[in-house]
Structure 1
Amino acid sequence: MADTHEAPVTLTQDQRDALRERYREERDKRIRPDGINQYVEPTGQFAVLEEDPYTPWVEREALTDHVEFLFVGGGFAGLSVCARLKEAGIDDFRIVESGGDFGGVWYWNRYPGAMCDTAAMVYLPLLEETGHMPTMKYVRAPEIWGHALRIATHYDLYPHAVFSTQIHTMTWNDDASHWVIETNRGDRMTATYVAMGTGPLNRPKLPGVPGIESFAGDAFHTARWDYEVTGGDWTGEPMTKLAEKRVGIVGTGATGIQIVPSLGRDAGELYVFQRTPSAVGVRGNHEIDPDWFSALEPGWQSKWLRNFAVLQTMGVADEDLVHDGWTDITKRIFARMMANAPDPSAITPADFVAAYHDSDDEKMEEIRGRVDEIVEDPETAAGLKAWYRQFCKRPCFHDEYLPTFNRPNVHLVDTDGKGVERIDETGAWVGDKHYDLDVLIYASGFEFNTDYTHRSAFEVVGRGGVTLTDKWAKGMQSFQGMHVHGFPNMFVVGIFQGSSLASNVTSNYVDTGHTIAAILTHAQSVGAGQVEVLPEAETDWVAAIEKAPKGIVGGPDCTPGYYNSEGQAEGRKEKLDRGGYPLGPVPFFDYIADWRTNGRFEGLAFR
Structure 2
Amino acid sequence: MTASVETVDAVVVGGGFGGIRTVDLFKNKLGLDKVVGIEKGKALGGTWYWNQYPGAQTDTETWVYRFSDDRSAPNWNSRYLKAEQLQEQIHDTAEKSGVLDNYIFDNSVVSAHYDEESKRWNIVTDKGRQFAATYLVTALGILTNPYVPDWPGKDVFEGEAFHSARWPKDLDLTDKRVAVIGTGPSGSQIAATIHPLAKEVTVFQRRAQYVVPINNREVDEAEKQEIVANYDAIWDTVFTSRFAMGFVEGSKSALEVSEAERQEVYERVWNKGGGFRFFFETFADIATNEEANETAGDFVRGKIASIVKDPKTAELLQPTGLYGGRPLSADGYYEAFNEPHVSLVDISENEIAEITPTGVKLEDGQTFDVDVIVYATGFDGVDGAYRNIDVTGRGGVKLFDVWKDESNALYGVSVSGFPNLFTVTGPGGPFANMLPTIELQTGFIAQLVEEAQARQQPVDANAEAQVRWSETVQEISKLTVFDKVKSWIQNDNIEGKKKYSAFFLGGLQTYDSKLNEEAAAKYPSFEFSA
Give TM class, smaller chain.
0.7 to 0.9
**Secondary structure of 1:422's match?**
strand
Contact 1:212 1:423 in 2 (8 A): yes
Report the CA distance between 1:448 and its aligned residue.
2.2
Other-structure match for 1:9: none
Contact 2:202 2:342 in 1 (8 A): yes
Structure 1 residue corresponding to 2:481, chosen from 535, 553, 558: 553
Report the CA distance between 1:292 and its aligned residue.
3.1
Q: Does 1:97 align with 2:36?
A: no
After superposition, residues 85-234 of structure 1 pair within 5 angstroms as 85-92=26-33, 93-125=35-67, 128-228=70-170, 230-231=171-172
Report the CA distance between 1:360 and its aligned residue.
1.6
RMSD value, Cα: 3.1
**Secondary structure of 1:90's match?**
coil
Report the CA distance between 1:549 and its aligned residue.
6.4
Report the CA distance between 1:477 and its aligned residue.
4.7
- Once structures 1 and 2 are overlaid, which stretch shifts more, 381-390 or 77-86? 77-86
Give the distance between the partners of 2:492 and 2:521, measured in 1 at CA. Answer: 43
**Residue 423 to residue 543, structure 1, CA distance change in 2 (3 Å):** closer
Percent identity between the two aligned chains: 27
Structure 2 residue corresponding to 1:453, chosen from 386, 401, 408: 386
Give the distance between the partners of 1:76 and 1:124, measured in 2 at CA. Answer: 9
More helix by share: 1
Give the distance between the partners of 1:545 and 1:396, measured in 2 at CA. Answer: 23
Residue 439 of structure 1 aligns with an amino acid whose one-letter code is V
- After superposition, give the CA deviation of every residue in 1:301-342 in whole Å (9 maximum; x if it has no partner): 53242255358897759xx99984424333544379xxxxxx
Other-structure match for 1:578: 502
**Residue 414 to residue 192, structure 1, CA distance change in 2 (3 Å):** same
Structure 2 residue corresponding to 1:390, chosen from 314, 319, 323: 323
* Structure 2 gap ranges (5+): 253-267
Report the CA distance between 1:435 and its aligned residue.
1.4
**Secondary structure of 1:267's match?**
coil
Other-structure match for 1:534: 462
Other-structure match for 1:409: 341
**Secondary structure of 1:106's match?**
helix
Report the CA distance between 1:196 and its aligned residue.
0.8
Q: Does 1:512 align with 2:441?
A: yes
Contact 2:239 2:508 in 1 (8 A): no
Structure 2 residue corresponding to 1:266, chosen from 185, 197, 208: 197
Report the CA distance between 1:226 and its aligned residue.
2.1
Other-structure match for 2:263: none
Other-structure match for 1:13: none
Residue 440 of structure 2 aligns with an amino acid whose one-letter code is D
Report the CA distance between 1:599 and its aligned residue.
6.2
Residue 460 of structure 2 aligns with an amino acid whose one-letter code is E
Other-structure match for 2:356: 424
Residue 553 of structure 1 aligns with an amino acid whose one-letter code is V
- Once structures 1 and 2 are overlaid, which stretch shifts more, 131-140 or 305-314? 305-314
Other-structure match for 2:262: none
* Structure 1 gap ranges (5+): 1-60, 232-238, 337-351
Give the distance between the partners of 2:477 and 2:52, measured in 1 at CA. Answer: 39
Other-structure match for 1:69: 10
**Residue 507 to residue 103, structure 1, CA distance change in 2 (3 Å):** same
- Normalised to the residue count of structure 2, the TM-score between the two structures is 0.86
After superposition, residues 240-319 of structure 1 pair within 5 angstroms as 242-243=174-175, 245-295=176-226, 296-297=229-230, 299-300=232-233, 302-306=235-239, 309=242, 316=251
Give the distance between the partners of 2:64 and 2:434, measured in 1 at CA. Answer: 10
The runs of 4+ residues in structure 1 deviating greater than 6 Å are 311-315, 320-323, 567-571
Give the distance between the partners of 1:570 and 1:553, measured in 2 at CA. Answer: 22
Give the distance between the partners of 2:333 and 2:467, measured in 1 at CA. Answer: 47
Contact 2:242 2:507 in 1 (8 A): no
Give the distance between the partners of 1:264 and 1:323, measured in 2 at CA. Answer: 21
Report the CA distance between 1:512 and its aligned residue.
0.9
Other-structure match for 1:602: 524
**Secondary structure of 2:433's match?**
helix
Contact 1:483 1:491 in 2 (8 A): yes
**Secondary structure of 1:390's match?**
coil
Matched pairs, number: 505
**Secondary structure of 2:276's match?**
helix
Other-structure match for 2:265: none
- Normalised to the residue count of structure 1, the TM-score between the two structures is 0.76
**Residue 280 to residue 542, structure 1, CA distance change in 2 (3 Å):** closer
Give the distance between the partners of 1:130 and 1:150, measured in 2 at CA. Answer: 11
**Residue 323 to residue 62, structure 1, CA distance change in 2 (3 Å):** farther
Give the distance between the partners of 1:71 and 1:563, measured in 2 at CA. Answer: 25
Report the CA distance between 1:145 and its aligned residue.
0.8
